[in-house]
Amino acid sequence: MAKRFGGRHSPGLGPQDGNRNPVPAAPIRHPLAGRPKYVTFAALPFLFGAFFQEPAGMAGSLAAFGVIASAMWMTGEGLAAEAAYQVRRVARRPAIPRKLFGSVMTGLGLGLGMAEPGSLAGAGVVGATGMVLHWLAFGADPMRDKGMSGSEGFQGERAQKMIEDAEAHLAQMRDAIRRLNDRWLEARVDRFAGTVGDLFDRVRSNPGDLSAARRYLGVYLMGARDATVKFADLYRQTNDPATRLSYETFLDDLEKDFSAKSRRLLEGGKTDLEIEISVLRERLAREGVRASEPAALDAPQTETARFLDGLLTPDRDKAR
């Protein structure tokens, strides 16, 4: 379905709207996201060849193609999860190692396709080879949390649950705007989601900030979702530029609030660090530890060095 593009020179937008230039968020896409479909295409001979075999061979070939196609779907989901993991400063490892499961299913599908009476060992070798090739082609799943040291425990789980609920609100906002088929508004909501994502990263890295950010992750995002749904329903019926401008102004104000909250949380973290450093310095001072003075430069030894030092010395004295 064609989408109406809203921009500076698009009809129906006032000059206020044209001056706004939301930066569309780049879609999160893994560099290898296109490879699974080629593997699925390569498995098509199992599907087409199944109809020229006896019932047992037909069942085996159909099962082989189905398992391989499912493995590629699983691998694609793993690549998408890895892409989301890579772009975040703070992220948990995927709960399900999808690429690992895809590798096992690929080996199983190839084994089923090559299995013949009396050649199970050969089918096993082919399946194992397929698993290794899958790993070489797509890599492994992320197996460690990123940027989450010290965030484990009950508070970390609460923060993660709150963020998941907030991400669901953002997803509902995107769905409501997507129904308008307006790329300009979609880009605007994506930019707002990026600003909210900065707050998510802050809370992930320091779950202690959850109490300060709870209202933003809960009440404010829920209100933004409800307002977006109502705006989408009204704008689809009226196409009123004033309603559109009011909604974009609402997003601007809300985005500023979220950005300011992220900065305050970051500044609070810097203040805590400065306090810890000052306390550590006081303890070192009580222990008699002092900062060492910079070592004095040795006097020039060679005649040339002394000559150059003599030329530079008057300049230093004048500067003083």
Question: Please, what sign has the CA dihedral across residues 10, 16, 21, 24?
Answer: negative
Q: What confidence score (pLDDT) does residue 273 get?
A: 56
Q: Around Cβ 283, how many Cβ atoms within 10 Å?
A: 10
How many CB atoms lie under 10 A from the CB of residue 231? Answer: 22
- What residues contact residue 79 under an 8 Å CB cut-off, 6+ apart? 30, 32, 33, 36, 99, 138
- For 4, the 3-state DSSP assignment is strand
What does DSSP assign to residue 216?
I
The per-residue pLDDT for 269 is 53
Burial 198-218 (b: 16+ CB within 10 A, else e): bbbbbbbbbbbbbeebeebbe
Identify the residue whose tokens are 């040291």.
149
- Phi and psi angles of residue 182, each rounded to the nearest 5 degrees, phi first: -125, 105
Q: What is the pLDDT of residue 307?
A: 57
User: Environment class of residue 35 by beta-carbon count within 10 Å: exposed (0-12), middle (13-18) or buried (19+)?
Assistant: middle
- pLDDT value of residue 131: 93
Burial profile 166-191: b = 16 or more Cβ within 10 angstroms, e = fewer: bbebbebbeebbeebebbbbbbbbbb
Structure tokens at 6: 């809203």
Tokens coding 95: 């709960």
CA–CA separation, 136 and 130 (whole Å): 10
Q: Which helix (H) or strand (E) holds 242?
A: helix 241-286
**Could you tell me the CA-to-CA distances from 93 to 4, 83, 144, 242 in Å, in that order?**
38, 11, 5, 44
Name the region of 251 (left: φ>0; alpha: ψ -120 to 50; beta: rest): alpha
Spatial contact of 75 and 63, defined as CB atoms under 8 Å apart: no
**pLDDT digit of tens for each residue in the chain (320 aa)?**
444 444 444 444 443 444 444 444 455 778 888 889 999 999 999 988 888 888 888 898 999 999 999 999 999 999 988 887 887 766 778 888 999 999 999 999 999 888 876 677 888 899 999 999 999 999 989 888 776 655 455 677 787 888 888 888 999 999 999 999 889 999 999 999 888 888 888 887 777 777 778 888 888 888 899 999 999 999 988 989 999 999 999 999 888 888 888 888 777 655 555 555 665 666 666 666 555 544 555 555 565 555 555 655 554 444 44
For residue 220, give Cα distances in angstroms to 39, 104, 211, 231, 253: 45, 44, 14, 16, 12
Could you count the other beta carbons within 10 Å of the beta carbon of residue 240?
12
DSSP bridge partners of 4: 182
pLDDT at 309 (0 to 100) = 57
**Residue 91 contacts residue 145 (beta carbons within 8 Å):** yes
0.75 exceeded by pTM: no
**Cα separations in angstroms, 46 against 40, 42, 63, 131:** 10, 9, 9, 18
Residue 152 phi, psi dihedral angles, 5° rounding: -80, 170
